[in-house]
Amino acid sequence: MDIFDIILRISLILATTSVFGIMLLTYLRVRNTKMLLISAGFGSFVLYALMSIPEILGSPLAMDENLHLFLHLIALVLILVGILKD
């Protein structure tokens, strides 16, 4: 991995974490199921971002494409159900 790829991934991890933090604070303020589902969706995106850190460090732990797609599917379904709730 070159330095540009590492900087890009770290910045995306920080951006995803900040969006999750905003959604979590919104849930803590509103306390309804809709915001809980949306926060859980963004939380699973943060989990996915944290699981990609070993790829940055060059660790032999690698995720296959099916796991990438599965984690994205879980996150997007949670966000969609949260948006459509009501």
pLDDT of residue 77: 97
17-76 tens-digit pLDDT:
999 999 999 999 999 999 999 999 999 999 888 887 777 677 766 778 898 899 999 999
Domain ranges of the chain: 3-84
Separation CA 51–CA 71 (nearest Å): 10
Rounded to two decimals, the pTM is: 0.85
Q: Is the pLDDT of residue 83 over 80?
A: yes
Identify residue 10 by its one-letter amino acid code.
I
Identify residue 54 by its one-letter amino acid code.
P
Find the angle CA(64)-CA(20)-CA(73) to the nearest 5 degrees. Answer: 35
pLDDT of residue 24: 96
Question: CA–CA distance from 6 to each of 49, 54, 69 (Å)?
Answer: 13, 11, 21
